[in-house]
Amino acid sequence: MKKLQNKVALITGGSSGIGFGVALSLLNEGVHVVITSRDEARAKEAAKELQKLSSTSAKVIGVEADVRRYESQQKAVEHVLSQFGQLDIVIANAGLGHFASIEDLTPQQWQETIDTNLSGVFYSIKSSVEALKKSEGYFISISSLAGTNFFAGGSAYNASKFGVTGFTQSVMLDLREHNIKVSTIMPGSVATHFNNHEPSASDAWKIQSEDIGDLVVSLLKLNERTLPSKIEVRPTMPASK
């Protein structure tokens, strides 16, 4: 995909954070983008903001979709195809985190984490695989360093992200024969609103959402013969003590 102009991307959870940063990077390369959120108003507002920030005339559309429901994700893909006639790039980014000791973690928190972070990635590729076959496209999941490094209080989140990493690597092997490239990006600390965090100047040491956007663009432009299938990304320097 050395030439990205007029390609079409679908980004789940694209109304904020990493998804928003990736969307802007793709728009600036001339990629048409559809972002999703469970909140339709939020998706449309983010799309307006992205259009203002974009340096190209590429289109961006915000739609309501819930990655926890296969039928909802299918409708999102159908919307992309009805608007643009093709789907070249899927970024499975939607995610959340519940962090608590196993003594305090509720069954509802466990289920929501798995449904969103892991099943949501499955639904994203399952609903788009036929379109990606036609375009010989690219599927990227956003996992986490928590998908290889476990920590106390992270049982649900660790389980979901370990699952995303393993799932995406297996899908990569499944889809190579169709000339679909599959990667998972595993970021460390990113300056976003994740888990009710409010980004500030003190987050300057962290990865920024636009950095992940730049990485996605680099992956898409890489020579087709080469596939970085699993990419760990961390801040260059740790937080100051």
Q: Confirm whether 152 is domain-assigned.
A: yes
Distance, CA of 11 to chain centre: 6
Cβ-count burial 32-41 (b if 16+ within 10 Å, e if not): bbbbbbbeee
Residue 164 belongs to a domain: yes
Task: State yes or no: is 157 an active-site residue.
Answer: yes
Mean pLDDT to the nearest integer, 82-95: 98
Is 1 part of any domain?
no
Determine the pLDDT at residue 238. 80
pTM over 0.75: yes
Is residue 2 in some structural domain?
Answer: no
Q: How many C-beta atoms surround the C-beta of residue 52 within 10 A?
A: 8
Average pLDDT of the residues of the chain: 95
From the centroid of its chain, how far is CA 103? Answer: 30
Q: Report pLDDT for 202.
A: 79
The catalytically annotated residue of 70, 123, 138, 157 is 157
Mean pLDDT computed over 2-11:
94
Q: Decide if 241 is inside a domain.
A: no
Query: How many structural domains does the chain have?
Result: 1
pLDDT higher than threshold 60 for residue 241 = no
Q: Is the distance from CB of 27 to CB of 62 less than 8 angstroms?
A: no
Residue 195's pLDDT is 61
pLDDT at 189: 85
Residue 240 has pLDDT above 90, yes or no: no
Segment (H or E) for 225: none
Q: What is the pLDDT of residues 107-159, one digit of tens each?
A: 999 999 999 999 999 999 999 999 999 999 999 999 999 999 999 999 999 99
Determine what percent of the chain is predicted with pLDDT higher than 90.
89
**Residue 3 maps to a domain:** no
Q: Average pLDDT for residues 67-89, to the nearest whole number? A: 98
Per-residue tokens: 129:
């695989």
Confidence of residue 5 (pLDDT cuts 50, 70, 90): very high
Q: Is residue 109 part of a domain?
A: yes
| pLDDT value for 201 | 77
Domain assignment of residue 178, given as a range: 8-233
Q: What is the CATH number of the domain that holds 48?
A: 3.40.50.720
The rounded percent of the chain whose pLDDT value lies above 70 is: 96
Position 239 in a domain: no
Is the pLDDT confidence value at 35 over 70? yes
Q: Where are the alpha helices (DSSP H) in 54-154?
A: 70-84, 107-114, 120-135
- Overall average pLDDT of the 205-214 stretch: 92
